[in-house]
Amino acid sequence: MSATAVVGLQWGDEAKGKIVDLLTDQHEIVVRYLGGNNAGHTVKFDGKTFKLSLLPAGVLRPGVTSVIANGVVINPAALLKEIAGVESQGVEIGEDLLISDRAHVIFPYHMAEEIIYEKLRGDDAIGTTMRGIGYAYREKAGRTHAIRVGDLIRPDVLKQKLPEIVAFKNQLLSAFDPEHVAFKAEELIDEYIELGKKLEKHITDTTAYLHTQIKAGRRLLFEGAQGSLLDIDHGTFPFVTSSNSSGAGIHSGSGVPERHISRMIGIVKAYTTRVGGGPCPTELKDETGQHIRDEGNEYGTVTGRPRRCGWLDA
């Protein structure tokens, strides 16, 4: 068995997706193990350009199994939209896409919370993508209000949990924003039951699946998101993401122990970029920085935000 991991060593946007795409032909399974639709990468395949966010790069290759593992937080509507976009370009996504039943789910109230809190922080804002990623991870750690992908195909669970959660969120959001339009539990229940039905064929126990494939000697490729300097434990805290975006996150995010990783590839680009707040010691705020941004097309794949550019900081 050969398992390779591709990890960014800066603040993300190091072209991990391109490297994963180059390596996919050498592997049978590609695993995304952290983050959500806050991270993205651009891949050129078969003469077409694909902008992927939640989907692993393996979805573009026939015969390669793509796994969205337990460490990912998923906005089901965003995932289905991304699947539809890829399929509209002639790529069929069928049973080769597997989604962990243990991955946690993003709801509209997570995004609403994030928007309000970022505004309240003012100049101290972290600079998030406003996609609700951090708040879904916070829910995961808090447990009480967490909903997992496996719950989407269990309507009884949604009907039991969401009314209490939505009532709490409405009260919280109204306290900070008197103009907050209350979420309706019934509408969210109906919406997410339908989303679950559309994703059901992909939902499975990916941890058990990966261990079975390891025992069978199949070749795995772990696709990192963001970069090591954004790791919640080892990055430039508090200006970090909400998950372990260094190699340390592979085990917890997929269920596969590090001993199975035979090759770890760290990606660095020739200059430094960063999106959002936080330190960037070599940042160039002059025409040179703008030139690097324009020539390198340093704008976010997901948000389109301009990246802060500077010299390589080694």
Name residue 223's amino acid: E
Q: Catalytic site residue 13?
A: yes
Let me know if 251 is a catalytic residue.
no
Which of these is catalytic: 21, 25, 27, 41? 41
Considering 13, 96, 101, 151, which one is annotated as catalytic?
13
CA distances from 236 to 57, 157, 279, 307 (A): 28, 38, 7, 17
Active site residues: 13, 41
